[in-house]
Structures are given as C-alpha cells and as structure tokens.
C-alpha cells in the first residue's frame, strides 16, 4: 500500500525548512506542504498555551488539506503542543526534541560535556526536564537558550557573518569550548548555523542536530502504515507562510535552495 497524500510540516517560521530539505533529500517522492508561522515567530519566548493554540490552528489547516502525517519541525512546538495534538488528531504527528541522546552516546561510556542550544521555552518545558533526567547523572549538560539566533534567520541576516559571529560569541564565550565534546542544535533554525558553529568550535567538538533522526522516524512511521509515496510519484515542496510578504517568500525559497 502507498499514499500520494502530502505530508504537512510546520515551524514557528523558517527554521523547519532545514527539516524539509532533509525530507526532500531522503524521501524525494513525497509531497510536502510547509507552513511557517513567521507572523507569530518566535515561539520560543511565548507561553506554552500560546504555542499550543498556534500549533493547533496550523494542524487544523493541514487536516483540511488532507495530509497523511504532520511533522512538527520545531522543538519548541513539540514540547508545548505535541501531546495535545496527538490526542486531538487521528493522523501521525511526528515531533522533535534536542538530540541529547546522540550527543551522550558518542562518548561510548565516557562522561560527555554537552551544550544544548535551544529556545527558552524548549529548555523550560517538562519534556526537556525529562530528557535531562535520563542523562544528567552520567554527563555534564549545559542548557543554553539562544533566542537571538531565531531572530537572525527570520530577519534574513544569516549571511551577515559579523552579526552571526558576534551573537554566537555572546552566548558561548562563557564556556571553555576546548572542554566541550558536542553542541546539540536543539532548534531547527540553528541548523542553518552549522558552518558558523564550526568556525566557533574547536574541531574536537561535534555539532549535532535531530533532523536526520526525525526524517528517519517519519519514514518508519509511514512505512508501517503503508503510506509512503510510491516510487514513481513526483515529490515536491509547497512553501506557505502566515507572513505573506514577498520578503519572507523569497527568504524561505533561498533557505530551501541553500
């Protein structure tokens, strides 16, 4: 069994496009409807209730469009809204969380020193506390809220090397980075900063994100339901955004093509 119905992917704004790129690369036959909520970004400094309401409105729209699954391409919305969305809707809802397990497993039994860069809300929510509880006895974990990195992407300043590096230094100069084993990019906007993090960090420090794991999980779920797109299907990406100005449309497309 297969399904040519689209997959709905959403984020508070443009960060989830990093997940769409991964879907396009690994599941090229799938059709993706992407919705970025840039008019309401950032989510990471909002209350959980606000993020739940906004997420619910987006998923309702996807359901009307006939999606076969939803990917919450946003760690923040996953923390605040995934459980409620799963209770409410009858389609698979795939969420994301900072890939802390991947970072800790790299140590193969040795204590790891890991920075988790994410939004303030992701790091405040219970889901992250539960994740920390699994690893904090055996590893040293530094949660670091970096809301400024979301703003830079949304304002189209990602290519402004000085602004980006200055912002990264503001967040990370407090650490002795030579003692850090890995940095987890726990926000989909941050995945676009990989090269900048590489410039900031010593080569011994790994940079880890959850995009590949999320897309693998999506594939497993769709396969188990017999809902993968058939091999001959033409995949494609449609980008939509709550901020309908031309600047955001161009920015979204350029991030997809990046």
Q: What whole-number distance in Å separates Cα of residue 73 and Cα of residue 30?
A: 16
75 annotated to bind ligand: yes
175 is in an annotated binding site: no
Packing angle, helices 17-26 and 246-257, rounded to 10: 40
The CA distance from 161 to 206, in Å, is 21
The single residue among 6, 15, 48, 92 that binds ligand DGL, judged by CB under 6 A, is: 15
Place of tokens 């809902």: 227
Burial class, 151, CB count within 10 angstroms (exposed 0-12 / middle 13-18 / buried 19+)? middle
Q: Which of 67, 100, 52, 70 is nearest to 10 (CA)?
A: 70
Contacts with ligand DGL by CB under 6 A: the residue count is: 17
How far is Cα 146 from Cα 169, in angstroms, rounded to an integer?
11
Identify which of residues 82 and 228 has a Cβ nearer to ligand DGL in the complex.
Answer: 82
Query: Could you tell me the smallest distance in angstroms from the CB atom of residue 72 to ligand DGL?
Result: 9
Q: Which of 104, 146, 187, 245 is catalytic?
A: 187
**Of 55, 188, 211, 242, which one interacts with ligand DGL (CB under 6 A)?**
188
Query: Does residue 125 touch ligand DGL according to CB under 6 A?
Result: no
Binding mask 42-61 for ligand DGL (x = CB under 6 A): xxx-----------------
Q: Is 245 a catalytic residue?
A: no
DSSP state letters, 175-192: S-GGG--EEEE-SGGGGG
Provide, rounded to whole angstroms, the least separation between the CB of residue 12 and ligand DGL.
3
Residues within the annotated binding site?
11-12, 43-44, 75-76, 188-189
Q: Which residues bind ligand DGL (CB under 6 A)?
A: 11-13, 15, 41-44, 74-76, 119, 122, 150, 187-189
Residues within the annotated binding site for substrate?
11-12, 43-44, 75-76, 188-189
The catalytic residues are: 74, 187
């Amino acid at each position: 069994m297969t399904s040519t119905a689209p997959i709905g992917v959403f984020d508070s704004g443009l960060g989830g496009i990093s997940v769409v790129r991964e879907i396009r690369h690994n599941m090229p036959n799938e059709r993706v409807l992407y919705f970025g909520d840039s008019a309401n970004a950032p989510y990471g400094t909002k209350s959980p209730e606000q993020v739940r309401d906004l997420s619910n409105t987006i998923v309702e729209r996807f359901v009307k469009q006939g999606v076969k699954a939803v990917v919450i391409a946003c760690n923040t919305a996953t923390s605040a809204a995934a459980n409620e969305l799963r209770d409410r809707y009858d389609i698979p809802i795939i969420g994301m969380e900072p890939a802390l397990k991947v970072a800790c497993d790299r140590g193969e039994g040795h204590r790891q020193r890991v920075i988790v860069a994410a939004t303030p809300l992701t790091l405040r929510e219970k889901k992250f506390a539960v994740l920390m509880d699994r690893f904090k006895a055996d590893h040293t974990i530094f949660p670091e809220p970096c809301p400024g990195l979301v703003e830079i992407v949304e304002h189209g300043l990602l290519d402004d090397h000085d602004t980006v590096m200055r912002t990264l230094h503001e967040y990370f100069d407090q650490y002795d980075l030579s003692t850090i084993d890995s940095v987890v990019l726990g926000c989909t906007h941050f995945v676009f900063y990989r090269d900048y993090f590489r410039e900031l960090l010593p080569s011994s420090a790994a940079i880890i994100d959850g995009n590949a794991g999320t897309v693998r999980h999506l594939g497993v779920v769709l396969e188990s339901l017999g809902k993968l797109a058939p091999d001959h299907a033409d995949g494609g990406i449609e980008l939509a955004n709550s901020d309908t100005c031309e600047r955001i449309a161009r920015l979204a497309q350029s991030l997809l093509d990046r």
